[in-house]
Amino acid sequence: MRPTVSWTPPEDLPPGTTDLEPVADALSAGGVLVLSGAGLSTESGIPDYRGEGGSLSRHTPMTYQEFTADARARRRYWARSHLGWRTFGRARPNAGHRAVAAFGRHGLLSGVITQNVDGLHQAAGSEDTVELHGSLARVVCLSCGAVSPRRELARRLEEANAGFEPVAAGINPDGDADLTDEQVGDFHVVPCALCGGILKPDVVFFGETVPPHRVEHCRRMVREAASLLVLGSSLTVMSGLRFVRQAAQAGKPVLIVNRDPTRGDRHAVARVALPLGTALTAVAGRLGVPVDGRATA
């Protein structure tokens, strides 16, 4: 099962706008549920999947089926992910993340659902955040189910692969670094410290399903929200698009901030085609919401 790597927007999609008033109006009314995607983290140095220069133009993510069935695929994944974690783990929240956290502190949000696995919403101070696709900061054993911190695995991999210092061509939204098979070499993968089983990052791979209880929790969040604000997602895959459709079918306003067209545009009141950090900081200023403790009005 290969990931959905592209979506071609039809010519009759409604055009994007630069008018932030609908977003500001929704936030001022309160009860806004945020649904964020990889585009929100690009200003933190983490590329997105499908935007301009997105990683899927050069990189096909590992699928769950490959990871579980092929030891060589797991070696390639962990070599790339181990190297990428050194950069990915140092990423810091950007203006977009900080603005979302500020909206939450001021009682304008009902919650946050993120498709990202980078933990930057929480690092910025957002509470009530549901990580739809999990988190790279955790590792799970496929045999015994034990969950452990990524930093612990990073330490074990460092010890097992002394001198592993290839130069990567880039990093991807899922934390992988771009390495050739020659650079991966005979990288040594370590097993679960408790049972010797296969370790996997606690994220939903392409080809894997989001846990049903998590999906239902997110559906409940949509039901309880007054409106849905999509930030930095193309909504190419159903994982996020289903919540947009749910909100629209329930008559709840859907606002999208994304520079490129999305699969959810037909369901939206408007799509604001502006950089996220700039747009959200400007909205905070209009509402007099201080970001990082500084008044923006």
- Would you please indicate which residues are annotated as catalytic (active-site) residues? 133
**Measured distance CA(28)–CA(108) in Å, rounded:** 7
Residue 233 counted as an annotated binding residue:
yes
Q: Is 3 annotated as a binding residue?
A: no
Q: Is 218 annotated as a binding residue?
A: no
Does 46 count as an annotated binding residue? Answer: yes
Number of Cβ within 10 Å of residue 144's Cβ equals 11
| DSSP letter, residue 184 | H
Tokens 């698009």 belong to residue:
241
Phi/psi-derived region of residue 132, left when phi > 0, alpha when psi is between -120 and 50, beta in every other case: alpha
Q: Which helix (H) or strand (E) holds 24?
A: helix 21-29
**Looking up tokens 């490959």, which residue turns up?**
66
For residue 283, give the nearest of 31, 93, 15, 18 by alpha carbon. 18
81 is in an annotated binding site: no
Q: Report whether 195 belongs to an annotated binding site.
A: yes
User: Is 40 part of any known ligand binding site?
Assistant: yes
- As given in the structure block, the two tokens for residue 187 are 């990288």
Name the pairing type of β-strands 134-141 and 254-257: unpaired
**116 is known to lie in a ligand binding site:** yes
50 is known to lie in a ligand binding site: yes
Residue 179 contacts residue 58 (beta carbons within 8 Å): no
43 labelled as ligand-binding? yes
Residue 134 known to bind ligand: no
Query: Binding residue per annotation — 47?
Result: yes
List Cα–Cα distances, 31 to 62, 104, 111, in angstroms. 36, 10, 8
**One-character DSSP codes across 268-294:** -SEEE-S-HHHHHHHHHHHHT--BTTB
Binding-site residues, in ranges, read 37-57, 115-118, 141, 144, 192, 195, 232-234, 276
Binding-site residues for NAD(+), in ranges, read 37-57, 115-118, 232-234, 276
Binding-site residues for Zn(2+), in ranges, read 141, 144, 192, 195
